Amino acid sequence: MTSLGGLALLLLAGGVPIFFVLGLTALAAVIYADLPLVLIAHRFYTGLNNFTLMAIPFFILAGLLMDAGGLSRRIVDFSIALIGWVTGSLLMVAIVAATALAAMSGSGSADTAAVSAVLQPELRRRGYNVDFAAALIACSGTLAQIIPPSLMLVLIGVVNNLSIGALFLAGILPGLLVLPGLFAIAFRHASKGGPQYRASQPFSLRLLFSSFVSAMPAFGMAVVIMGGILGGVFTPTEAAGSAVVYALLVGLFVYRELTWDRLVKAMVKASAFTSGILILVAGATTFNWLIADAGVPELIKQWFVVNVGSFWTFLLIVNLLLMALGMVMESLAILLLLSPILLPIAVSYGIDPVHFSVIMVFNCAIGMVTPPLGGAVFVAATIAQRPFLSVVRHVVQPWAWMTFVLLVVSFLPVITLILPRLAGYLD
């Protein structure tokens, strides 16, 4: 077991793609356990043949269509009209826009990319600290994984047979709790900065109204997704499919910005990312089968039962472990590999599986901005055309705040559970 872990880390550090790291480690385990080689292809196929998983391709495509069809831009425009008049306005706009987009997009990087692409030129023009802004946008962007819809919440639900609807509701409050701290950090930075942070456009009710009207069809997306799920119109997977159709229709017929060329580009890009994520899921499925077959989850569970008495300690250990892994591992891989092991243990400590899933997803979302491997920071830095290292320096404050919120959420289950309870998903 330990040598397998060592092998995996070695391959990972050597630049082997994570999909192949999982694959080669699984191969070593199969050979070691003297199991038939065909097992690998079979489990790989099984991981892909999953209807619920289909929410992932759909949310990826919907996000790209929102961008190509002008939906994302109108949400940013509305955010500018709403909060563009305060000190450090563009930073506040970034947070508001990222949060609004989070309610429609399931992907932290897509969210980060959309906000960065629209705001970066303006940030530069007004002389803002571009590195700080990029870091802040990356952190706000990770909210897309906590506030529904969310690829990570779908994934943890699929892997552990939990209701996606319940998980989506559970993510709302923890995601919103992050906001006040981000505003405060942005405000402090702006107040200490030069006059460029105060040169802002005056508030205009007319502009707010017109930009709201213009963004309304885009906001309709959130109504389709969450309203459709809660209103009993469709399942989360179907909601994701409907989000694609909705973004397509708005882009084609309302905003009329979605050309044939852009549509094809979005489809190709969505296919590429979908495949990249799905084969990763399938590779992890293979690996998890071997882990289960070797009885590892049971061993780990026994270790906890013997060594960790209270579930508070358990939660703390899990948070620390995930945080440490978040530095060096890809967030999706952590979720896929560890949730089937940790979730049953959490349940045996009396922790609600939905609550625990949100903790894991929150942790993995933070992992996306935790150096050295921070996917969202990488995206934000790339679009800002700044070196990764000068951006990542500024992640510290928002990171610390998110970690604090995570701990609060961990130890106050009511924050995650109240909405699914009110909606009747849990008792």
Partner 1 sequence: MKRAIATLRSLTTGIAVICFGFMVVAVMVQVLGRYVLPIKVGNAVETAAFAQVWLACIGAGLALRHGAVFAVDALPARLSLRSARLVSVLIAAGSLLFLAVLIYGGVLLTRQGASQSSPTLLLPMWIVFSAVPVGMSFMALEVVLRVVENWAAPFSPVYEKEDVA
Partner 2 sequence: DTTLRFAHFSVEDDPNHRAAVALSEMVAAATGNDVTVKIAPNSQLGGEVDVVEGILLGTIDMAPPSAAVLANWVPEMNVLNMPFVFRDWDHYSTVLNGPIFDELSAAAAPKGIRLLGFMTSGPRHIMTKSPVNSISDLVGQKIRTVQNPVHVATFNAFGANATAIAYPEVYGSLQSGVVDGADAANTNYFTQKFYEVAPNWAQVSWLFYTNPIVISERVFQKLDADVQAALLEAGRKVGMDQQNDWRASDDKLLEVLQENGVTVTRPDPAPFRVAAQKIYDEFMTTDEQKQMLSLITN
Residues near 246 by beta carbon (within 8 Å), at least 6 away in sequence: 62, 220, 221, 224
In 3D, which of 297, 379, 313 has the Cα closest to residue 111? 379
For 128-140, letters b (16+ CB in 10 Å) and e give: bbbbbbbbbbbbb
326 binds, among Na ion, partner 2, partner 1, none (CB under 5 to 8 A by kind): Na ion
For partner 2, which is the closer residue by CB, 70 or 157?
Answer: 157
Question: 153, 359 in Cβ contact below 8 A?
Answer: no
Q: Using CA atoms in the order 376, 402, 163, 337, what is the torsion angle rounded to 10 degrees?
A: 60
> Is the Cβ of residue 27 or residue 207 nearer to partner 1 in the bound state?
27
**Which of 109, 370, 397, 416 forms a contact with Na ion (CB under 5 A)?**
370
Residue 266 near which of Na ion, partner 1, partner 2, none (CB within 5-8 Å, type-dependent): none
Q: Report in angstroms the alpha-carbon separations of 412 from 7, 255, 359, 417, 423.
A: 38, 43, 11, 9, 19
* 102 binds, options Na ion, partner 2, partner 1, none, Cβ within 5 to 8 A by partner type: Na ion
- Describe the crossing of helices 414-422 and 164-192 by its angle, rounded to 10 degrees: 130
Is residue 49 at the binding interface for partner 1, with CB under 8 A as the rule? yes
Burial 199-210 (b: 16+ CB within 10 A, else e): ebeeeeeebbee
Residue range at the interface with partner 1 (CB under 8 A); choices 102-110, 159-167, 217-225, 397-405: 102-110
User: Does the protein bind partner 1 through residue 324 (CB under 8 A)?
Assistant: no
The answer to whether 139 contacts partner 1 (rule: CB under 8 A) is no
Binding residue count for partner 2, defined by CB under 8 A: 33
Report if residue 373 touches Na ion, rule: CB under 5 A: yes
Side-chain half-sphere exposure of 168, counting CA atoms within 13 A: 28
Q: How far apart are CA 282 and CA 336, in angstroms?
A: 10
Q: Is 34 in the site for partner 2 (CB under 8 A)?
A: no
By CB under 8 A, what part of segment 147-166 binds partner 2? Answer: 157-158, 161-166
Asked if 113 contacts 381 with a C-beta cutoff of 8 angstroms, the reply is: no
Nearer to partner 2 by Cβ, of 122 and 238: the residue is: 238
Residue 16 as a binder of Na ion (CB under 5 A): the answer is: no
- Identified binder of partner 1 from the candidate list 163, 196, 382, 403, rule CB under 8 A: 382
Range 253-312, binding partner 1 (CB under 8 A): 264, 267-280, 282
| 367 interface partner picked from partner 2, Na ion, partner 1, none, CB below 5 to 8 A per type | Na ion
Q: What angle do CA 225, 274, 102 make, to 5 degrees?
A: 35
User: Does residue 10 belong to the site contacting partner 1 (CB under 8 A)?
Assistant: no
Subset of residues 349 to 378 that bind partner 1, contact rule: CB under 8 A = 368, 372-373, 375-376, 378
